[in-house]
A and B are shown apart, each in its own frame.
Chain A
Amino acid sequence: MIKTTADSTTAREMLKVIAALIPGYIALSLIFGPGALIHAAIMIPVAMLAEATIIWMRSRSAVPAIKDLSAPLTALLLAAALPPLLPWWMAIVGILFAIIIAKQLYGGLGQNPFNPAMVGYVILLVSFPLEMTSWLTPAGAIVGGDTIGFIQSAEIIFGTIENPSITIDGVTGATPLDAMKTALYQGLTISEGIKEISNGVLAGSGWEIINLTFLIGGIYLIASRTISWHIPVSMLVALLIISALFNTVDPDRYSTPLYHLLSGGTMLGAFFIATDPVTASTTPRGRIWFGACIGILIYTIRSWGGYPDAVAFSVLLLNMFTPLIDHFTQPKIYGERDNG
């Protein structure tokens, strides 16, 4: 859904998306330390190298594929979704899966049915469930009055020294979504759960800030006509409606709409993940269905499923239905007659 003019190129559109990630990255770094940046710094070269190698093995010129900037973008999206202190080699496993299995084995950019970054994420989630759900708590990220710094983050991510100045166990905790789920299992109500988890106002623990910054980037993408509004708006509206519905019926068991909109990967997913043109629906009506279904699925998995966050699964599930959605949402062409 990238809207372009004559001088637009794939690379330029990718660059705009990368630029739109900047506010989110700043927020991530301020709240959780530079973990995401370190991951990105590891994954971007690996992604490009992996891409070039595979294309070289298919004996094609790797130059265009490297220049289109899609591999670095995948790395940046995945890095933004990973827990900030995930060991370096897990990050590499994730990005290799994303680039090689999810993208290049299907024929490279444009041919992959599944969102590569989300494939990488899900592979890591099912392979290393403990590490993947161990987020720094924003409080835990404060070391001696400052947010965890570069050295400490790097020490943990690379595991280079025997006794790092801080340990994962000491500072990590579940994400608010995770904690809320646990709280609900323990029979607490939502309001009690909020107290339990939150230093933040609405969705807990600085997450609302991160979501808001991704929202800002997303608004830029729509304003600059890099993405169309259909998917993010329909996804967020669907999530809003369904969460409002259940919240009204039973506020003790179901969180508020604002909580759902501003926690976890909601905004990153809405504006940056679900809108990946390659794997999303391409008809205007199809995009609305696509986004709305993702919104509903996210809510369903968050509320009743086994995993705390659901953006990755929801997007991948809908990717499977993209061809079907496209098929049933063919727009009416110019001059098409009503009966045909």
Chain B
Amino acid sequence: MTLTNFKFHGGIHPKQLKDLSRDRAIESISWRDEDEIVITLSQGIGSLNHPILSIGDSVQAKQRISECYGEISVPVHSPCDGTITAIEERPATHPSGLQAVAIVIKPDADSSKIDINKANDLVNHKIDVSKLSELLSSLTAEEIISKIRIGGVIGLGGAGFPTCAKLHGGIKTNIETLIINGMECEPRITCDDRLMRERAIEIIAGVEILDHLLHPNSIKIGVEDNKPEAILALEIATTSSTSSIEIITTPTLYPSGGERQLIQLLTGKEVPSGTLPSAIGVVCQNVATVAALYHALLERPLTHRVVTVTGDGVESAGNYSVPIGIPIDSLLTQCGVVDSVRITVGGPMMGFELHNSRSPITKTVNCLIVEKNSSLPSAPERYNCIRCASCSDACPAKLMPQQLYWAAQSRDFEQTEKLNLFDCIECGCCDFVCPSKIPLVSYYRYAKGVIRGAKQEQNRADEARVRHEFHDARITREKAEKAEKLAKKRAALKAKKESNKSTDKPNDADKKGAAIRAAIKRAEAKKKAAAANS
């Protein structure tokens, strides 16, 4: 264990409030008999997913149920054996509260409810190191990344950036430092803490995979000093590791777990604005993501995740391994939720209020805060900005939140962009310290939305074209497949007839077959082009 020598600008010390759940071991909670599983098609960032099964089809646990194109996108999987009952818009677990297309699965009565990864829990059995390295050396880097991608792994720390995309960037450049994010700096959340305490071996196995893939000069796991048990568990797990891993403790200071802040904390370097960490030779992954990619490599896709359920609105707060797609109200009922509560998805700093408790758990939900309405503080009285600069003193991105606010308030969006609006990580430090109680971040979100909307308008045409080409390719392929089937049938029929007739006349099935093969080839080429474009 080493201490870090670097710091980032600003930061705050909110109350930790982790005691409610930090000593509760991870337990499994699964669907009840009456529940259906709702898998939102677009999880995390950049997914343009497309269902590959239809209503009425039966699925098996771990089965992939969508396909995606484009490098920044991963598929989703079913956590259960069951039947697809609908593919339709359902309430999304999203700040907007809008609907999103989801695949709805009715689990079979006899489907196993156990988290597959938990069942394969490797804490007690040491991971077979030689087997892992054997597997790794039998695969190319691209194959490893593709396994991680097909396993549906995205960043589980919150933002949901597809892991494969980060790794693609990583293998193209020289990676100096691999950073594993075990900070969990938001108040209340404890799922990563538990994961590090209970499944450190899986995390370290995942780190070894990344080590093999990226060949970094150094590997650093950052953990805030308020998690001594996690630090100890990781230290024990690293002793037997083939990779040389440093565990670095940092002082508890929000938002030390923000990717850019953590990189600054551990390396002293700033990621240039508008670029990804790989631009300065850094790849950063959250601990839960690392464990998930280890499982993905062993053909166990991401179907479950650990969620912290906390707050005074539930009887049994704790950390639960739950199937992705379980409705939030089912999970909360099983935790003993009281009436009239406010549910926050994510931490108290960056989370959002849930509008519909029938929304499902998605891959990026790390915490549910359930608070009795009666114990919520009334909204603080709001004053004018007094320009006190508390906000800019606290801003880890070194922005001028007050000036951003003035610009956003007067709808001068051009000015907000000049003030680097898009470097705002929405950490909420400015809100937290503002003595006038101005909801600053909501102004920034709004401004970002307006600007993005304007830009999207421009991009929409391009996007539509890509989608259209993809669609075309699929139609052509399906047609070709149909034609091929038909041709085969015909050929079989003809063969039958011919054998019946016992004549020896050459048929035109071959010709047709060649035409079909050519069509398939064309379709494939088109599909590839579409994928490259997107």
Q: Do A and B belong to a common assembly? A: yes
- Interface set of A (CB-CB < 8 Å, partner B): 1-6, 8-10, 12-13, 64, 67-68, 70, 107-111, 228, 277-280, 282-284, 287, 326, 330-337
Given contacts A279-B387, A335-B270, A335-B274, 9 further A-B contacts (CB under 8 A): A64-B381, A110-B387, A278-B387, A333-B273, A333-B398, A334-B270, A334-B273, A334-B398, A336-B272
User: Chain B, interface size: which category?
Assistant: 35 or more
With CB as the reference atom, state the residue of chain A lying closest to B437.
Answer: A9
Docked complex Cα distance between A278 and B386 (Å):
5
Docked complex Cα distance between A332 and B264 (Å):
15
With CB as the reference atom, state the residue of chain A lying closest to B269.
Answer: A335
Q: Does B331 contact A (CB under 8 A)?
A: no
Q: Does B220 contact A (CB under 8 A)?
A: no
Q: Does B142 contact A (CB under 8 A)?
A: no
Evaluate whether A4 and B381 lie within 8 angstroms (CB atoms) in the complex, with A331-B398, A333-B420 already known: no
Q: Kindly provide the distance from the CB of A40 to the nearest chain B CB, expressed in whole angstroms.
A: 22
Residues of A within 8 A of B437 (CB): 9
> Per DSSP, are chain B's interface residues mostly helix, strand or loop, or mixed?
loop
Judge whether B273 and A13 touch: CB under 8 Å.
no
Tally the A-B contacts, defined by beta carbons under 8 Å: 116
- Mask for B371-406, Cβ within 8 A of A = 1, else 0? 000000000111111111110110011111011000
Q: Does B477 contact A (CB under 8 A)?
A: no
Residues of B within 8 A of A8 (CB): 390, 433, 435
Q: Kindly provide the distance from the CB of A196 to the nearest chain B CB, expressed in whole angstroms.
A: 43
Judge whether A282 and B273 touch: CB under 8 Å.
no
Judge whether A337 and B402 touch: CB under 8 Å.
no
Q: Kindly provide the distance from the CB of A15 to the nearest chain B CB, expressed in whole angstroms.
A: 11
Docked complex Cα distance between A8 and B391 (Å):
12
Residues of A within 8 A of B419 (CB): 330
Residues of chain B in range 420-449 having any CB-CB distance to chain A below 8 Å: 420, 423, 432-437
With CB as the reference atom, state the residue of chain B lying closest to A68.
Answer: B383
Residues of B within 8 A of A284 (CB): 392
Residues of A within 8 A of B452 (CB): none
Q: Which of B9, B382, B386, B403 contacts A326 (CB 8 A)?
A: B403
With CB as the reference atom, state the residue of chain B lying closest to A12.
Answer: B435
> Per DSSP, are chain A's interface residues mostly helix, strand or loop, or mixed?
loop
Evaluate whether A283 and B400 lie within 8 angstroms (CB atoms) in the complex, with A6-B433, A334-B423, A335-B423 already known: yes
Residues of A within 8 A of B253 (CB): none
Evaluate whether A4 and B390 lie within 8 angstroms (CB atoms) in the complex, with A9-B435, A64-B381, A334-B260 already known: yes
Q: Kindly provide the distance from the CB of A110 to the nearest chain B CB, expressed in whole angstroms.
A: 3
Docked complex Cα distance between A111 and B387 (Å):
9
Judge whether A110 and B436 touch: CB under 8 Å.
yes
Judge whether A109 and B383 touch: CB under 8 Å.
yes
Docked complex Cα distance between A111 and B384 (Å):
8
Evaluate whether A337 and B273 lie within 8 angstroms (CB atoms) in the complex, with A282-B400, A282-B402, A283-B400 already known: yes
Residues of A within 8 A of B433 (CB): 3-6, 8
Judge whether A64 and B390 touch: CB under 8 Å.
no
Q: Which of A1, A12, A110, A337 contacts B389 (CB 8 A)?
A: A1
Judge whether B271 and A335 touch: CB under 8 Å.
yes
Docked complex Cα distance between A2 and B383 (Å):
15
Docked complex Cα distance between A282 and B392 (Å):
8
Judge whether B397 and A333 touch: CB under 8 Å.
yes
Judge whether A109 and B384 touch: CB under 8 Å.
yes
Q: Kindly provide the distance from the CB of A133 to the nearest chain B CB, expressed in whole angstroms.
A: 32
Docked complex Cα distance between A117 and B258 (Å):
43
Q: Kindly provide the distance from the CB of A315 to the nearest chain B CB, expressed in whole angstroms.
A: 15
Residues of A within 8 A of B9 (CB): 334
Judge whether A6 and B400 touch: CB under 8 Å.
no
Judge whether A3 and B390 touch: CB under 8 Å.
yes
Judge whether B272 and A335 touch: CB under 8 Å.
yes
Docked complex Cα distance between A50 and B437 (Å):
25
Q: Does B14 contact A (CB under 8 A)?
A: yes
Docked complex Cα distance between A64 and B435 (Å):
13
Docked complex Cα distance between A109 and B400 (Å):
20
Judge whether A4 and B389 touch: CB under 8 Å.
no
Q: Kindly provide the distance from the CB of B414 to the nearest chain A CB, expressed in whole angstroms.
A: 15
Judge whether B388 and A277 touch: CB under 8 Å.
yes
Residues of B within 8 A of A5 (CB): 12-13, 433
